[in-house]
């Protein structure tokens, strides 16, 4: 199973939202799709779900063109695009049943889908007065209810409270275990790091990077750590440690240390700190690898 963009282009008047995107995501995994506002992420997902017409190129799902054979291409795809509206006069159960019947699926697990997003107890209430978070949960249930092998999710935790976000992340993680291909846009780098196996980064409609999270972590690992100690620490002691390039006092008990080398060196510095009887209570990389990659590739633009 795969999704493939071949020279996929989209223009809105003179604005080019997507410049000849070539991307193939394949296999049973989660691929995060990152980029700042206006990068073209949602445009890509809308093209893959035939909500937009392309200005050029192809979007292919499992060998079928989304634009020429949408019914076949989307037959095994569950989608959650933007924050969809649900039919307000129908209940969550009826909204999901509509999807099942439209897809001519008789073996839908509506109860399971609603339970997964913790909306089962609301199954018989009309969705007209639901909050955004509740609607997003039901919409996610609708994407899952026919048990598709491919999921296209556009910022699935959008509009949710922190607890809801954690729950949705757990659902997505469990879907990975069910051997699905998940293509998910997100504005939360931590979310993508936590949930996804691979990352595609996009800016100004151009793909900048597509790699596994592990490989990105290796390439963009931070060579700085932030140290928090129980008592104030003398900077000169830290600067004397082998491999330390510089040390900067952030607060009386917090120091940022820059060093040469990779993970091994980071470990040796920690050992040296402990051997000097510095009371370390926290020692962590300054900035995530994904964030470093993002900032390096996309720059200081405000990210979505």
The least distance separating another protein from the CB of residue 56, rounded to whole angstroms, comes to 15
Beta bridge partners of 182: 30, 151
Residues 297 and 285: their CA atoms lie apart, in Å, by 19
Q: Find the binder of another protein among 142, 144, 195, 298 (CB under 8 A).
A: 142
Q: Which of 143, 137, 149 is nearest to 78 (CA)?
A: 143
84 binds another protein (CB under 8 A): yes
The least distance separating another protein from the CB of residue 139, rounded to whole angstroms, comes to 6
145 binds another protein (CB under 8 A): no
Q: Find the binder of another protein among 3, 5, 23, 74 (CB under 8 A).
A: 74
Stretch that binds another protein, among 71-79, 109-117, 165-173, 187-195 (CB under 8 A): 71-79
Instruction: Specify the residue, 73 or 209, whose C-beta has the smaller distance to another protein.
Output: 73
Instruction: Specify the residue, 87 or 267, whose C-beta has the smaller distance to another protein.
Output: 87
**Residue found under tokens 């296999």:** 27
Stretch that binds another protein, among 25-33, 76-84, 219-227, 286-294 (CB under 8 A): 76-84
The least distance separating another protein from the CB of residue 181, rounded to whole angstroms, comes to 16
Instruction: Specify the residue, 180 or 294, whose C-beta has the smaller distance to another protein.
Output: 180
Q: Find the binder of another protein among 32, 59, 79, 110 (CB under 8 A).
A: 79
How far does Cα 276 stand from its chain's mean position?
41
The least distance separating another protein from the CB of residue 142, rounded to whole angstroms, comes to 7
Tokens of 223: 């060579």
65 binds another protein (CB under 8 A): no
Give the per-residue contact string, 102-131, with another protein (x = CB under 8 A; - = no). xxx---------------------x-----
The least distance separating another protein from the CB of residue 143, rounded to whole angstroms, comes to 9
101 binds another protein (CB under 8 A): yes
77 binds another protein (CB under 8 A): yes
Q: Find the binder of another protein among 1, 98, 224, 235 (CB under 8 A).
A: 98
185 binds another protein (CB under 8 A): no
Q: Find the binder of another protein among 5, 8, 31, 81 (CB under 8 A).
A: 81
Q: What is the phi-psi region of residue 103: left when phi exceeds 0, alpha when psi lies from -120 to 50, beta otherwise?
A: alpha
Beta bridge partners of 18: 10
> Which stretches of the chain bind another protein, using CB under 8 A?
12, 46, 49-53, 70-75, 77, 79, 81-90, 94-95, 98-99, 101-104, 126, 139, 142, 152
């Amino acid at each position: 199973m795969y999704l493939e963009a071949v020279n996929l282009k989209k223009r809105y008047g003179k604005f080019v939202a997507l410049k000849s995107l070539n991307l193939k995501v394949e296999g049973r995994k989660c691929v995060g799709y990152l980029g700042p506002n206006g990068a073209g992420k949602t445009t890509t997902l809308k093209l893959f779900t035939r909500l937009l017409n392309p200005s050029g190129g192809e979007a292919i799902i499992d060998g079928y063109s989304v634009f020429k054979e949408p019914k076949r291409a989307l037959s095994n795809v569950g989608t959650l695009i933007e924050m969809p509206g649900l039919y307000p006069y129908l209940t969550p159960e009826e909204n999901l049943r509509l999807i099942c019947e439209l897809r001519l699926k008789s073996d839908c697990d509506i109860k399971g889908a609603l339970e997964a997003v913790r909306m089962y107890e609301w199954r018989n209430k009309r969705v007209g007065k639901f909050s955004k978070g509740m609607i997003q949960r039901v919409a996610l249930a609708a994407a899952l209810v026919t048990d598709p092998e491919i999921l296209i999710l556009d910022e699935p935790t959008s509009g949710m409270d922190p607890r809801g976000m954690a729950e949705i992340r757990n659902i997505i993680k469990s879907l990975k275990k069910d051997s699905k291909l998940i293509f998910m846009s997100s504005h939360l780098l931590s979310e993508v790091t936590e949930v996804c196996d691979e990352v595609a980064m996009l800016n100004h409609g151009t793909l900048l990077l597509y790699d596994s999270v592990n490989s990105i972590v290796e390439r963009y690992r931070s060579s700085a750590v932030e140290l928090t100690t129980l008592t104030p620490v003398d900077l000169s002691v830290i600067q004397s440690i082998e491999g330390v390039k510089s040390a900067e006092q952030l607060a009386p008990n917090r120091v940022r240390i820059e060093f040469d080398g990779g993970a091994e060196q980071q470990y040796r510095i920690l050992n040296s700190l402990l051997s000097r009887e510095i009371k370390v209570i926290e020692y962590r990389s300054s900035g995530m690898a994904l964030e470093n990659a993002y900032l390096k590739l996309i720059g200081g633009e405000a990210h979505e």
